[in-house]
Structure 1
Amino acid sequence: MASETVEYQIDATFIDDNDSWAIIEPLWWTVSIYDGEKKYEQDLSKYSKSQRLVFACHWYMSEVNNGGHDQFYYNSTGIVWRDAIECFDAIGATEISEIIKSSATRLGGSPSLDRNERNEVLEKIEPKFDDLDDRFYKLESQIDIEKLIKVFISKRKSDFVFNGKVLKP
């Protein structure tokens, strides 16, 4: 399958009319979580702090919903753990940020942003996350996280404006 160039015009109207996934779509195609912290930071430098936080929030939710905190930390997505905490605090979902903090504590308090190093710790201490997974799933069913994210975005629309072309693999 060939790559294609996609032009995005994310303005105030687009932000009002679309969900948070669509609003941060350019990040999905241009920010690598797979190539280490330096590349991750370099890719994110083109975007606002607000975009970065929502991106992390979505990665966290996607991974935990797919395979729990084990999967979140085992996969490359573990690189976003600090930003995910900050995002959930910023949107007012502090219970979820507390879950992430608890999961980080079970990995020594400050999990490495390097996937291989995180995996070594995971294999060495074999933390159990089932209770945290269950707490997250319960909270997610009680809280409209998308609504909280959209309120966060609507208060910072200029942080989410994006006009440009992105190479979509």
Structure 2
Amino acid sequence: MKKREKREWEYDMENLVHSFLNRTIYEKLTKHIIASIPDEALVQAIIDNIQTKISPDFSDEYDVVTKLSAGRQAVYAIFYLECEVCNGGFSQFFYNSISVFAEDALYGLERIGAVKLSALMKQAISLYKENKKEITEIEDETIEGYHKFYSDNPLNKLDDIFYLLIKEENLSDLIINYIRNNLNEFVD
């Protein structure tokens, strides 16, 4: 990489990080505020708003989220499903505590019209339940157990399909369209 290209890349990355760290976080959302948020920032704004309702240690996360509107629950669960699977696969999603939202993510995918992704999520939940005993036995929090958990996990075969389907079904657009068409579910 040429020095100039590297500097431009670094500058772009610095701007992205700066923008993210200095974004507006709305403790209260109105129809007017939601309408003013550009599409590329909309999902993050909804997630930030939900997180203002959760304690800093996330100890009440499940209780808070499950008391929100169906739309907010859907966006929250889908957002974290995508984050976890894109970071470490379905193995990571089910390994981490966010997996308590697995059924919510499934329901959310169905709700926004992500037909193929919801079918895949249903398959992932089923596969996890069928293999939970074997999968959780190797979750011993050692390096070896962690490696075995990821390398021998039957969920791994679903990861590439997920990556393809989020593009094919255009998951981001489905979520944004759902929010824009169901504003009442997202206002405080």
TM-score (norm 2): 0.67
TM superposition shift of 1:22: 0.7
The alpha-carbon deviation at position 10 of structure 1 amounts to 1.6
**Residue-by-residue CA offset, 1:103-158 (whole Å, 9 max, x unaligned):** 111122597xxxxx996267599532222100010111223212111221122211
What is aligned with 2:136?
120
Residues 44-94 of structure 1, C-alpha deviation per residue, up to 9 Å, x if partnerless?
Answer: 255222111110010100000000000000011111100000111111102
Match of 2:53 in 1: 30
**Are 1:150 and 2:169 an aligned pair?**
no
| Bigger Cα displacement from structure 2, 98-107 vs 24-33 | 24-33
Aligned residues: percent identity? 26
Q: What is the CA–CA distance in structure 1 between the aligned matches of 2:119 and 2:138, rounded to whole Å?
A: 20
Residue of 34, 39, 50 corresponding to 2:71? 50
Letter in 1 for 2:165: L
Q: Which has the higher contact order (CA 8 A, sep 6+)?
A: 1
Greater share of strand residues, 1 or 2?
A: 1
- Conserved? CA contact 2:27–2:52, under 8 Å: no
Identify the structure with the greater helix proportion.
2
Secondary structure of 1:10's counterpart equals coil
The separation in 2 between residues aligned to 1:7 and 1:131, in whole angstroms, is: 39
* Distance in 2 separating the partners of 1:149 and 1:142: 14
Give aligned pairs, total. 149
Distance in 2 of aligned mates of 1:56 and 1:98: 16
Q: Is the 8 A contact 2:26 2:45 kept in 1?
A: no
Q: 2:32 and 2:112 mapped to 1: Cα distance?
A: 21
Structure 2 stretches lacking a partner, 5+ long:
1-24, 141-148
Alignment partner of 1:24: what SS?
A: helix
Which runs of at least 4 in structure 1 moved beyond 3 Å after TM superposition?
Answer: 29-35, 121-127
Structure having the higher Rg: 2
- Check conservation: 1:107, 1:127, Cα contact below 8 A: no
Q: What corresponds to 2:118 in structure 1?
A: 97
Which structure 1 segments of 5+ residues have no match? 1-5, 112-116, 163-169
Residue of structure 2 in register with 1:165 after alignment: none
Contact conserved, 1:73 with 1:118, CA < 8 A, in 2? no
Q: Show the 5 A alignment for 1:55-74.
A: 55-74=76-95
Distance in 1, matches of 2:166 and 2:88, equals 15
